Structure 1
Amino acid sequence: MKFAISCSTADAVDPGRLVAYARHADDCGFEGFYLPEHIMLYPGAAVGGFEFPPALPYPDPLDCLAFVAAATRRILLGTAVLLVPYHHPVVLAKRLATVDVLSGGRMRLLTVGLGTLPGEAAAVGVDFATRGRRADEAIDVLRLLWAGDEAGVSFAGEFFAFDQACVYPKPHGGTGLPVHVGGSSRAAARRAGRRGDGYFPGGMLTPAERELQWELVRDSAAAAGRDPGALDYTRWGSMDITAERVETLAAQGVTRVVVSPTETDPARRQDEMSAFAQRFALPALS
């Protein structure tokens, strides 16, 4: 099992706290460092029973991850989730590749999702009802651009079109980046199977629905001629997760657990992270 850690928006807008947090996660041996995204909020924006405070800061995750990369040595960089329908994929392909190149190939935990706030879609000129199709097309465009050479690549879709586009630099090593799919819907599970390198479902699902969705991921991959066994399965977890719970998750096919610290005081949080790393024998950075 791999273990990664998420970062709160409060830490992400404080450069000193962000660097200290990321460096300690790196030192402890956490595999990855995840940041969320909201492009904008508005009064009344809510998901389920949670209403977002309109002034809650959501810094750009890719800019923050570039900052983190410069301050760390090996930790992988991740998003949970990047709202891919709200980004133009030609621009996004270059931004992601740039972070990957400058970090030495660490932009490898990109997780994309659709977004659930209609006002956010409207603010960036995206029809909320089409964001699923737009996301599918954007993923295809990203992979096409990363694979293209000096002759350029062309695309003609419902939302994006270009001729002989050459986008450089390529991701580190000259290959494309993994694209994981996040979400809590069966449509997200099918998208992960058909197009993703892994699935990262949300936290508010019943055990029966989780099992159904993971099977849907695998079945969709097989139907698309892809290898279901090559897909990552990432889940949220808690800092107090037990070894027995990790074994249960592994038996369900989970390959990665992303945890969030409960402590807000920096010193106590570092202690919490260190204790977790010791409990699961994470590979400390020497």
Structure 2
Amino acid sequence: MHIGITSPIVVQHPSNAADWEAGAGIEELVRIARQADRLGFHHLTCSEHVAVPVDIAAERGATYWDPLATLGFLAAHTDRIKLATQVLVLGYHHPLAIAKRYGTLDVVSGGRLILGLGVGSLQEEFELLGAEFEGRGARADDALAALRASLSQSNPEYHGTHYDFENLVVKPHAVQTRVPLWIGGRTPRSLRRARSQGDGWVPFGLPLGDLESMLAKGEQREDFEVVLSAGAPLDPLGNRAAVADSLERRRQAGATIVSASIHATSAEHYCDQLATLRAIGDELDVEFHSNQIGATS
């Protein structure tokens, strides 16, 4: 099992955003990203919303940094940590636009892109962007197939029900032979979609017992990633035992990767928490990308 980091600052959800994040910016984010990279954590995340209605922002949050700009900037300040969109809404983009823009991110990051993708549920945002809300599931399935045919290809060709293209050149394109596609969602259909068309599943908002039951149904490829949230923000310095228990329960539920939010009161505290989380992970035989624990950040 690996541990990734649900990036602070870039998404400020009312349920878990800390007060210090409201006044933080790119300098604090880079400091945290460098620490996570140095310690060998699996990934950083950035989600997507273009515009959230005021009345819905109270529930979902209002702050969402653009993932392409954010992850591109972080790519220049890190070396090994993977960069995950969690998630892009498929209906907001043509598949070739994703292939070109995020393929370029894969190039500049040295092949560290993970594309987390979702169907989307905010109807007001679909309408704002001129995207079709009805039938978005079927359109997303076709977009996924088109993406799989297009990523890492100079001359992509695809003929589907919603997307159809050939005789085109897309350069640059992703340098990974197979860019990992993680499918977000909280329904059995999202898990089926992930298993049939993706490389991993990123569920949200479900109790651990429900996740375990869902994962027990159906076959799972050996290389399939199950990316489970750590739940409430982890507090490694404050309660090592609770953190270890949270991680171990998710491993038992089937997680191959845990995506963790971290309790902190400042960027400095956050970095200290990451160092302790790495130590707890070592005790649990969690896998990390780097052994450079003694390096300076």
Query: TM-score band, normalised by the shorter chain?
Result: 0.7 to 0.9
Contact 1:83–1:112, Cα closer than 8 Å, also in 2: yes
- 1:51 aligned residue (37, 59, 63): 59
Where structure 1 has 5 or more consecutive residues not aligned to the other structure, the ranges are none
CA gap of 1:232–1:120, structure 2 versus 1, over 3 A, is same
Partner of 1:117: 122
Q: Which residue of 1 aligns with 2:43?
A: 32
Establish whether residue 129 from structure 1 lines up as the match of residue 134 from structure 2. yes
Matches within 5 A, 1:1-286: 1-8=1-8, 9=10, 14-45=25-56, 51-53=59-61, 56-107=62-113, 109-146=114-151, 148-149=153-154, 152-173=155-176, 175-202=177-204, 204-216=205-217, 219=218, 228-237=221-230, 238-240=233-235, 241-281=242-282, 282=288, 283-285=290-292, 286=295
Equivalent position SS for 2:135: helix
Distance in 1, Cα, partners of 2:141 & 2:280: 39
Contact 1:146/1:167, CA 8 A, preserved across alignment: no
User: How far apart, in 2, do the equivalents of 1:147 and 1:267 lie?
Assistant: 38
Q: Relative to structure 2, which stretch is displaced further, 113-122 or 161-170?
A: 161-170
Tell me how many residue pairs correspond in the alignment: 268
Q: Percent of aligned positions with the same letter in both sequences?
A: 32
CA distance in 1, matches of 2:118, 2:103: 19
Distance in structure 1 (CA, Å) of the matches to 2:96 and 2:273: 40
| TM-superposed deviation, 1:104 | 0.8
Counterparts of 1:14 and 1:94 in 2: how far apart (Å)?
A: 27
Q: Deviations over 1:35-65 (max 9, x none)?
A: 111121112226xxx6245xx2322112110
3-state DSSP class of the match of 1:81? strand
Aligned-residue RMSD, C-alpha:
2.2
Partners of 2:153 and 2:80 lie apart in 1 by 28
CA drift of 1:284 comes to: 4.5
- Higher relative CO (Cα under 8 Å, sequence separation at least 6) belongs to 2
Instruction: Verify the 8 A CA contact 1:28 1:284 in the aligned structure 2.
Output: yes
1:247 to partner: Cα distance: 3.1
Cα offset, 1:274, TM superposition? 1.4
Please give the alpha-carbon distance, in whole angstroms, between the structure 1 residues aligned to 2:170 and 2:164.
Answer: 14
- Give the gaps of 5 or more residues in structure 2: 13-20, 236-241, 283-287
